[in-house]
A and B are shown apart, each in its own frame.
Chain A
Amino acid sequence: MNNLLRNQPMVFPIEKVVIPEAKSFRLNNGVPVYLIEAGTEDIMRLEFIFKAGQVKEYLPLLSSTCNMMLSEGSQNYTSEELNRSLDYYGVFLNQTAEKDRAGIVLFFLNKHIEKVLELSHEILFRPVFPELELNSLMKKRLRWYLVNREKVQNLAIDQFFESIFGKNHPYGYQILEQDFENITPSHLLSFHTKYYTPENMAIIISGKINTKTAELLNSWIGNISSNKTKSEYSVNPVKGEKLKKVHINKSGTVQSAIRIGSVTINKRHPDYPGMKILDSVLGGYFGSRLMKNIREEKGYTYGINSSISSLDLTGYKMISTEVGQKNYKKAIDEIYKEIKLLQTVPVKKEEMEVVRNYMLGEMLRMFDGPFALAESFRSAWEFDLDNSYYYRLAEKIKTIDPDEIIELARTYYNIDDLYEITVGAE
């Protein structure tokens, strides 16, 4: 890059990542509300989050089914009426059930705040879980499941979670066909009563926030009474399976899916920002080593990446790719080779500069606009962290030195600890 004829423009360092602070208050019943004012359009994003994820369930599919059934009929509306009404007011509703948390997110024009709160109240606090709707949902879900189980990437990720978290842990167990027959309305009702409560919930709002929002929230949600059962984690710690390498044979495939990784620290650990940087170097962006080597140099795959993710009880790191049948063993060797390189050879200054600046640019994108802001807020807040976490991350990106990366790679990427899941024709 030194002898360019059309001269390369100056590179301006990204000095400062500015993150707007969220305002917070509590509803009359104690529910915390976080408000992030942002954006230019008259729109809002409203999220209701509950500690009602998979980790709470005592039957497979309970958390996700309870969440999906919220909009299948309430005391005042049938499912059809709820859906029509949401569509009529131009509202986008996402129902989400993750490993730790579950809830709903609504996107709408802020003039419709009152209607949105009325419908949210019905969906969240007055669902009736009708048996007919439940039965037809489970039949549909079984069809979706059967199609998904045809895809090597789904077989691989399901096995990966089982292997790293343990086959009896709610983070890890795999869904079986018969699980779709086991859930009844009374299971849903009791799960809902226990976990969709003011004690277990928080509200995150962003956008051009309608001035009546606080008042309306109190009148729709602030008087929901508590049943005083705060949800507690009584769940066992995660414990990975003994077998580190699992191959699932699936005939007729033209590509094999590969997942390599293990449990690791989560966002609460002081080394986490450094791990984010290490992960970027390895496989976290288009210019990463895995992409450069396995796609851009060798052409084995359309894409390969690594990621590090945080859960409440632990974190995990994972390398994922789909590779042509004849090259997948070579690809696995290259993956381990890249990890070993990170443990032994310091990252050169030029590459360090690229990673630093790419990641700082990524941080600007993480806080650009009301939707991104809310998601970034949530993903720190879930771990009892605030913006200081992001400022710490930005500082680490600017200052980390290559020796520290070697140290992190040696501490957290011990190759003997990694699980290796492959799915495809043998």
Chain B
Amino acid sequence: MINYKKFTLENGLRVLIHEDKSTPLIAMNILYDVGSRDEDPEMTGLAHLFEHLMFGGSLNIPDYDTPLQLVGGENNAFTNNDITNYYLTVPSENIETGFWLESDRMLELDFSQKNLDTQRNVVKEEFNQRYLNQPYGDAILKLRPLAYKVHPYRWPTIGMDLDHLQNTNLDKVKSYFFSHYAPNNAILALTGNIEYDQAVNLSQKWFGPIGKREIKPRNLPAEPEQTDERILTIERDVPSTALYKVWHIGPRKSNDFYTIDLITDLLAGGESGRLHTKLVREKKLFSEINAYMTADIDPGLMIVQGKLMKGIDIQQAEESVKEVISGLLNKNEIMDEMEKVKNKFESSTVFSNTSILNKAANLAFYELLGDPGLINKEVDAYRNVSHDMVIETVRKFFIPSNCSTINYISTRKEK
């Protein structure tokens, strides 16, 4: 059981606090309710570039990192389709420095043209390192526009075209800041060696004076229902042929969410997952295979991806994946495994909540979803999934007309 308290400042900043006196540290997580889905299709990648710029200096502090390191702190950040999330840990006696830094960059950024130019290059190298210079690295870049035709999830967080970032300038970046970064569009979570009263006082002192801002309303086009199976074949000089299959699923807050989560665990949780057991170990069709869901706030995707063993036909591999998925309908086979994945989910939740950083990130994200109490309810929600729910969900989502497939064919001749 994770105890937490919540309060809201007058400017709309929501603050969550969880005390854990077993650590000398405090974790501070600030979530901004803006991600790559909020971008203009002509200016994709801006949310992520902006995350880089947030370290380039704020109104009163020329450099974010150095003062934090000076008090023994460490920090990082990530951007995804839905949110931009900044986090740090710091020895508890120096938590006020964390407030000073985070509130100043919420107040107003102050970075230079040089900083913008440099970080554009850094992001270009990040793009090259993650996607272009890795075998199979472009598959995920091809998958999104295959599965989504309208919704902004059709582009990756890093951007669909790096030229977009070349077209941005300081003015555009500043206006992005004021329409998305604001106390009324953020959630602050503090966990670790901190007292509630101390957290309230420091939040009021540092964040209280920042005024509310007008947030650009979110008005995203819904993805129309897919009606036909989509198949894309790509040929590449890679060692093995790979198969990617994705299905549209419901939004994060739908009833299906935990059922899909459990299905991905039945398929690919641990060494004893069904895809691995049947297709890697028994039939030896794949050298590796995995299943996961994107867990996006708007309707997301379930993804199965695997690399084929040498000489295996991709049609045969694909049929075998479909068979394993239909196997989920077989009650006699599945009931024991349901208990297994539920136990594993419970223990992995306990493990995840040993880290103050995870607890802070989870509290902030669940608050965004509307209920920080989810941090204590997820295990029950997952345990409550029945086999009938699995059957219903498999029949609803795992049908060809809801599926996009990439056949990523190796052209390499092997001796």
- Residues of chain A touching chain B, judged by Cβ–Cβ distance below 8 Å, are 1, 4-6, 8-12, 14, 18, 38-43, 71, 79-80, 83-84, 86-93, 107-109, 136, 139-140, 143-144, 146-147, 149-152, 252-255, 285-287, 295-302, 322-324, 353-355, 357-358, 360-362, 364-365, 368-371
Contacts and interface: CB of A to CB of B under 8 A. Distances in A.
Contacts of A109: 347, 350
Nearest to A256: B133
Contacts of A358: 69-70, 72-74
Contacts of B135: 147, 150-151
Contact of B62 (A1, A151, A252, A254): A1
Contacts of B125: 255, 299-302, 322-324
Contacts of A86: 270-272
Contact of A8 (B97, B134, B354): B97
Nearest to B114: A297
A349 B66 CA distance: 14
Nearest to A79: B281
Contact of A361 (B60, B73, B126): B73
Interface string B13-42: 000000010111100000000000000000
B195 to A, nearest CB: 16
Given A151-B135, A357-B70, A299 B117 contact: yes
A139 B309 contact: yes
Contact of A362 (B61, B74, B129, B353): B74
B132 A11 contact: no
Nearest to A5: B60
Interface string B252-269: 000000000000000001
Contacts of B206: 6
A136 B284 contact: yes
A-B CB proximity, top 3 nearest: A361-B72, A90-B347, A299-B121
Given A299-B119, A371-B354, A364 B25 contact: yes
B12 interface: no
Interface of B: 20, 22-25, 59-62, 65-67, 69-74, 89-91, 93-94, 96-97, 99-100, 103-104, 107, 117-126, 128-129, 132-136, 206, 237-240, 269-272, 277, 280-281, 284, 287-288, 307, 309-310, 339-341, 343-344, 346-348, 350-351, 353-355
A299 B128 contact: no
A295 B239 contact: no
Given A80-B277, A253-B133, A8 B67 contact: yes
A80 B272 contact: yes
A12 to B, nearest CB: 4
A83 B272 contact: yes
Nearest to A351: B66
A106 B347 CA distance: 12
A403 B270 CA distance: 52
A143 B309 contact: yes
Nearest to B24: A364
27 contacts: A8-B67, A9-B94, A9-B97, A11-B94, A40-B22, A87-B271, A87-B272, A87-B343, A88-B340, A90-B346, A92-B351, A139-B284, A143-B307, A143-B309, A146-B239, A150-B239, A286-B74, A301-B122, A322-B129, A324-B125, A358-B69, A361-B72, A361-B74, A361-B90, A362-B74, A364-B91, A368-B24
Contacts of B237: 252
B133 A254 contact: yes
Given A11-B70, A40-B22, A364-B72, A144 B287 contact: yes
Nearest to A6: B60
Given A144-B287, A302-B125, A41 B67 contact: no
Contact of B120 (A136, A139, A299, A365): A299
